[in-house]
Amino acid sequence: MKRALFPGSFDPITNGHEDILLRALPLFDEIIIGVGFNSEKKFMFSLDERINFIKKTFKKYKKVKVKSYDGLTINYCKTIEANFILRGLRNPADFEFEKAIAHTNRKLSGIETVFLLTSAKTSFVSSSIVREIIKNKGDYNELVPPSVLS
């Protein structure tokens, strides 16, 4: 079985995340969206809220599972028997950052990282931008799936 982990904090999930996952569906038998938990980090949305946003967004896709985890991503991959890590790339800075992590993960675990480029229509969207818009009471409707708005 080709199982991939799509890890992230998803605070909140964006249309960019949704786009990457939908385009990755034909590549894998199962994709587990791993919502990372880090007690050191200040999140805008609780872990339960983030998981619920994602579950609602992908409820009609049987190949998609949503779980939370903490610790090293490669350790979690071993726990869930994922042979791939799925990551989206928006720009060259993302690539440079993600490349180093992917090389390290492969060296330590043999787990391959699969990169998908974001579509042009979502390449500017990030969770941090969405959080800033929310904090300042701006309109973020077109940047996130409907599950985040309800």
Q: Is 107 noted as a catalytic residue in this protein? A: no
pLDDT > 90 in the chain, percent: 93
In this structure, are residues 82 and 33 in contact, taking their beta carbons and an 8 Å threshold? Answer: no
Cα–Cα distance, 30 to 25 (Å, whole number): 8
Out of 90, 99, 106, 131, the active site residue is 90
Could you confirm whether 41 is annotated as catalytic?
Answer: yes
Taking residues 85-105, report their average pLDDT: 94
Label residue 38 by pLDDT band (50, 70, 90).
confident
- In whole angstroms, what is the distance from residue 82 CA to residue 147 CA? 27
Q: Name the active-site residue from 9, 17, 50, 87.
A: 17
Q: Which residues contact 122 (CB under 8 A, 6 or more apart)?
A: 14, 15, 16, 19
Active-site annotation holder among 9, 50, 87, 127: 127
Q: Do the Cβ atoms of 58 and 21 come closer than 8 Å?
A: yes
Is residue 123 annotated as a catalytic residue, yes or no?
no
- Domains of the chain plus CATH, in order, are 3-149 (3.40.50.620)
pTM value is 0.94
Catalytic hit among 41, 60, 107, 135: 41
90 a catalytic residue: yes
CB neighbourhood size of 21 (10 A): 23
